[in-house]
Chains A and B, each alone.
Chain A
């Protein structure tokens, strides 16, 4: 009798607890509390703006000197562009406060230019130890960086950019173009260096003032940790990569140019609220 009663009680308790657990799962989190995702990140979505054979970092003032570039963000960038032109010019970025200019070599399929469908610039706190993430400094206004190797003659150990397929992870990442299944998109990933020498906004080769971390820390030559810019570009193409080329050559010549024109207060707020405390933020720089 006692044993039977105990068994019934256990069953009831079990039923009650599963009901409670079920309720907990269904009831939404209180509207006020923002779910924090522990990723140090903010972003800017900047679609294709225009195409020009110009490069205001590598060939400033020399219109037509460069291979063809596809520009994102600032609507005004050309060979003569300087910081004030960006700050005073229009942008197609979300958020619209980001007046930066971003550009890459143009992708061609069978000789016809293809512009990306989705272009996102992530600013990340990863890549360095968490105690260093907590000390990340804003990217200085007017900073110019070229990442990737436009002069590469083949995919090698120095290739930083990666090609993969959106919605077809099984294809895997490659240093050269990949064959994406029909219905998926060819995508390019490129991480910019995140250690600054603390002094120069540019350098003769447009790279030496920046460095990649070594063992999750910034080297003594480039002691200032800044957010890591990750360029993610999705092209509405798939299939046989032999149809593709970049204006700079093969897929392994993928590179990205960045001319920072975030208003300092906007950049600082995002570094303070998203990067250092390791909180995933959206384009508005608020937790997302």
Chain B
């Protein structure tokens, strides 16, 4: 009996609530009292955060998220210790960065699914990219991987610059500045690795020439082999 009463009471309350919510509100009431909380659409940003801030936070968060499966492909596919180390560090950096972006999105009172996460935006590795990459090994993998990571980091740097010049909330602009510095350092390291790959590739080609050329002395051949081994060890 009490249960039935409670149920009726709850129903009555719920009905009352929905009836109140359905009441028409005159637009004039809103314009004259701007301090009244507006019945806004979902994800109405906290006023301190501008449209640019929210757009950057969401896009950077989506870019970070979409790079994680790319970074996870390195173990077992690359023979380069240096590349594996960089990918591992980037993975951790991306987890941390994503956490900071999400914290600011929460501060900005932006909830719900990230509108850019399931969509291929510039800089993001596509499903096709990941599939193709997953099927490669060794130097082929390294080259494709570096190209995709570079495109991703370049885009992060580009949008972080935009946020710093066009954004509003100081905490978002500061995070953008910190991220730009971090990604620029990552890109420099990636460039070194890329150059080493090109150098190794060049040496491989030189060795192929050596095999076909009888003009090389045994001492020259030996030196070239040593150089190739040395460079491979560095990578």
The residues of A with any CB-CB pair to B shorter than 8 Å are 53, 58-67, 79-80, 150-151, 153, 198-199, 202-205, 208-209, 220, 248-249
In the complex, the answer to whether A150 meets B119 with C-beta atoms within 8 Å is: yes
Greatest chain A CB density within 10 A among B110, B162, B166 is at B162
By a CB distance below 8 angstroms, the chain B residues around A58 are 55
Cα A61 to Cα B59 with chains together (Å): 13
Q: List 11 A-B contacts (CB under 8 A).
A: A58-B55, A61-B55, A62-B163, A63-B162, A64-B159, A64-B162, A65-B162, A153-B118, A204-B41, A205-B115, A249-B119
Which residues B145-193 have CB closer than 8 A to chain A? Answer: 155, 158-159, 162-163, 165-167
In the complex, the answer to whether B44 meets A204 with C-beta atoms within 8 Å is: yes
Cα A248 to Cα B120 with chains together (Å): 7
Q: Is B138 an interface residue (CB 8 A)?
A: no
By a CB distance below 8 angstroms, the chain B residues around A199 are 27, 30-31, 38
With contacts A150-B119, A220-B24 taken as known, whether A61 is within 8 angstroms of B42 at the C-beta atoms is no
In the complex, the answer to whether B44 meets A53 with C-beta atoms within 8 Å is: no
Cα A79 to Cα B51 with chains together (Å): 12
Greatest chain B CB density within 10 A among A53, A62, A150, A205 is at A62
By a CB distance below 8 angstroms, the chain A residues around B56 are 59, 62, 65
In the complex, the answer to whether A205 meets B59 with C-beta atoms within 8 Å is: no
Q: Select which of A61, A64, A198, A208 is within 8 A of B166 by beta carbon.
A: A61
Minimum distance in angstroms from B20 CB to a CB of chain A: 14
By a CB distance below 8 angstroms, the chain A residues around B121 are 65-67
Q: Is B125 an interface residue (CB 8 A)?
A: no
Additional A-B contact list (4), CB under 8 Å, known A59-B52, A65-B56: A58-B55, A151-B115, A151-B119, A199-B31
In the complex, the answer to whether B158 meets A64 with C-beta atoms within 8 Å is: yes
Q: Select which of B42, B122, B162 is within 8 A of A79 by beta carbon.
A: B162
In the complex, the answer to whether A62 meets B159 with C-beta atoms within 8 Å is: yes
By a CB distance below 8 angstroms, the chain A residues around B122 are 53, 64-67
In the complex, the answer to whether A62 meets B59 with C-beta atoms within 8 Å is: yes
By a CB distance below 8 angstroms, the chain B residues around A53 are 122
Cα A41 to Cα B43 with chains together (Å): 35
Minimum distance in angstroms from A81 CB to a CB of chain B: 12
Minimum distance in angstroms from B235 CB to a CB of chain A: 32
By a CB distance below 8 angstroms, the chain A residues around B162 are 59, 61-65, 79
In the complex, the answer to whether B166 meets A249 with C-beta atoms within 8 Å is: no
Minimum distance in angstroms from A38 CB to a CB of chain B: 32
Cα A249 to Cα B127 with chains together (Å): 12
Q: Select which of A59, A198, A209 is within 8 A of B55 by beta carbon.
A: A59
- Among residues of A, the one whose C-beta sits closest to the C-beta of B154 is A64
In the complex, the answer to whether A60 meets B55 with C-beta atoms within 8 Å is: yes
- Among residues of B, the one whose C-beta sits closest to the C-beta of A65 is B159
Q: Is B54 an interface residue (CB 8 A)?
A: yes
By a CB distance below 8 angstroms, the chain A residues around B43 are 204-205
